[in-house]
Amino acid sequence: MCVGSQVAPFSLADLSPLNGPMPEGLHLVVLKSYLDGGGKDDSSQYAVMSLASISAIPDDWMPFDTEWRLVLQRYFGDRAAGYLHTTDALTGNSVYKGWGRTKVFDFLSQCSEIAVKHILKPRNRETGFPGKYGLYAFVITIVLADFVEHARSHPDAPQNANELSLRQALAKVLKWSERGANPRCDECHLFFDQGEEFYGHLVQLLQSKKAKKDADALNRITSRTEADMRRVAALQLADLIAWCHSHKLDENKPEWHKAILNSGIQVHWADKAAFASGMPDQQEIWKSWNLPRHKPTR
């Protein structure tokens, strides 16, 4: 519900199409994945673009959601307009007008602390760390000038950076739902920030009967929708991760930025070297699905 400029937050349950009692004897394990981008696929305006996906079963999402909202309440009080949008916070726009650098960095530091606490930690054989389950985070960052150069010299390679980003993120999410999640997931529900071009690529993919026949894992995606990131804590986390990795090469990074970069997120940095060595993408299979052609990234 919106009142004036205030935006009431969603709980995770509000976004689930499986609300209400489950039929007796039916027990589904659902992976909820939230995707948000940083930057646009325009090399004349951006050096890089990122797409972050955060995935977990509801039991792992709920503790994060609760702690994140406590941070928002601490900074915004009872106002329903409180949310994190990293770019607006750092530029002092929207709900952050008048905050000043100290308050903004303190806010981002607390959000980063919650993120690092709940993001999955991989096992480390060298140190003996056994690993810790939590939110599975993946981010692909494409160096746009390198992508455009490779696409122009390789006509059979992906020509649209948004489409390639979605492919890579989707492959990670579906693989995690089957082999990494504990327990293994029966269904995947995907949520995108409103207005993201990645969502349109997913809709077209799921409308292809041949794609769903060839890639059976796509049938585990039983729900996909857009949501207002101002109302969804998980999308705010995806926004923070996408921003941090889009600014990975910034100098003099603050501690909250460094903490996100070192938090255990699985990263794919797609630059000239990655394109030259061959990214894990089955282009011939995708071409056989006859999906709509999209404007090449420039």
> H or E stretch including 198?
helix 197-206
Number of compact structural domains in the chain: 1
Domain that holds residue 274: 26-288
Of residues 116 and 3, more confidence is placed in 116
Residue 67 has a pLDDT of 96
> For residue 160, is it within any domain?
yes
> For residue 83, is it within any domain?
yes
Q: Give this prediction's pTM.
A: 0.88
> For residue 197, is it within any domain?
yes
Of residues 284 and 188, more confidence is placed in 188
Residue 106 has a pLDDT of 98
Instruction: Please state, in angstroms and rounded to a whole number, the distance separating the CA atoms of residues 171 and 168.
Output: 5
> How much is the average pLDDT of 110-139?
89
Residue 291 has a pLDDT of 86
Question: Are the beta carbons of 202 and 225 closer than 8 angstroms?
Answer: no
Instruction: Please state, in angstroms and rounded to a whole number, the distance separating the CA atoms of residues 118 and 133.
Output: 8
Given a cut of 50, whether residue 70 has pLDDT beyond it is: yes
Given a cut of 50, whether residue 23 has pLDDT beyond it is: no
> For residue 293, is it within any domain?
no
Give the distance from CA 84 to its chain's centroid: 14
CATH number for the domain spanning 34: value is 3.30.420.10
Taking the CB of residue 118, how many other CB atoms lie within 10 A of it?
22
